């Protein structure tokens, strides 16, 4: 569906993609973060550091980057979309901290084959799957433990 050129500049169906300061700001922020962030959070972040990107534009840019496969999208428990630029380029999964959003890329070939095997077994076609692991990262584990001790 979406193609990406060697330099990260992307195009969709031949339509050009202009390099604006808003797009650069969003891209830079994503590079700097190693966490999954919601559009609202990212917009607040950009706004706080003085970048002029409107909320609507943040939504548009993030959505377009997701379409182009430049960022990974996830849904939090309450249905909010969160985005993250990943090292891994192809299909992969994540181990995500549910407190701070920090994530680790996970490859799991065995799970892939298992999924397609199970699906085919039941006659399902056009298979896709989602596998995400949520937990508390080491740091957040410590913080939560400390808070529990104080209480």
Partner DNA sequence: TTCACTGCAAATGCTTTGCAGCGCC
Partner DNA sequence: GGCGCTGCAAAGCATTTGCAGTGAA
**Cα dihedral 120, 70, 66, 88 in deg (nearest 10):** 40
CA 140 to CA 97: how far, in whole Å? 8
Among a second copy, DNA, none, partner that 109 touches (CB below 5 to 8 angstroms by kind): none
- H or E, element range at 104: strand 103-106
Choose, by CB under 8 A, the member of 66, 81, 100, 143 that binds a second copy. Answer: 81
- Return the number of the residue (80 or 107) whose C-beta is nearest DNA: 80
- CA nearest neighbour of 28 among 61, 3, 73: 61
- Work out how close the CB of 26 gets to a second copy at its nearest, in angstroms, rounded to a whole number: 21
Name the binder of 15 from DNA, a second copy, none, CB < 5-8 A by kind: DNA
**37-38 and 72-75 beta bridge pairing:** unpaired
> Which residues neighbour 127 within 8 Å (Cβ) at sequence distance 6 or greater?
115, 116, 119, 120
Determine the interface stretch with DNA among 79-87, 110-118, 123-131, 134-142 (rule: CB under 7 A). 79-87
Pick from 51, 83, 56: nearest CA to 67: 83
53 binds DNA (CB under 7 A): yes
Of the candidate spans 18-26, 91-99, 106-114, 139-147, the one that interacts with DNA by CB under 7 A turns out to be: 18-26
Residue 127 near which of a second copy, DNA, none (CB within 5-8 Å, type-dependent)? a second copy
The single residue among 19, 56, 133, 146 that binds a second copy, judged by CB under 8 A, is 133
- The three-state secondary structure class of 11 is strand
Footprint of DNA on this chain (CB under 7 A)? 15-23, 38-40, 52-57, 59-61, 63, 79-81
């Amino acid at each position: 569906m979406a193609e990406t050129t060697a330099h990260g500049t992307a195009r969709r169906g031949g339509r050009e993609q202009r390099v604006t300061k808003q797009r650069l700001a969003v891209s830079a922020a994503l590079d700097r973060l190693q966490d999954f962030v919601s559009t609202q959070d990212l917009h607040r972040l950009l706004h706080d550091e003085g970048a002029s990107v409107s909320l609507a534009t943040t939504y548009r840019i993030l959505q377009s980057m997701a379409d182009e496969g430049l960022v990974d999208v996830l849904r939090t428990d309450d249905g909010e979309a969160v985005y993250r630029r990943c090292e891994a380029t192809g299909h992969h999964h994540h181990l995500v901290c549910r407190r701070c959003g920090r994530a680790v890329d996970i490859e799991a070939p065995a799970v892939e084959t298992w999924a397609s095997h199970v699906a085919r077994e039941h006659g399902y076609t056009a298979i896709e799957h989602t596998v995400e692991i949520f937990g508390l990262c080491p740091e957040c584990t410590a913080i939560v433990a400390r808070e529990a001790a104080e209480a």
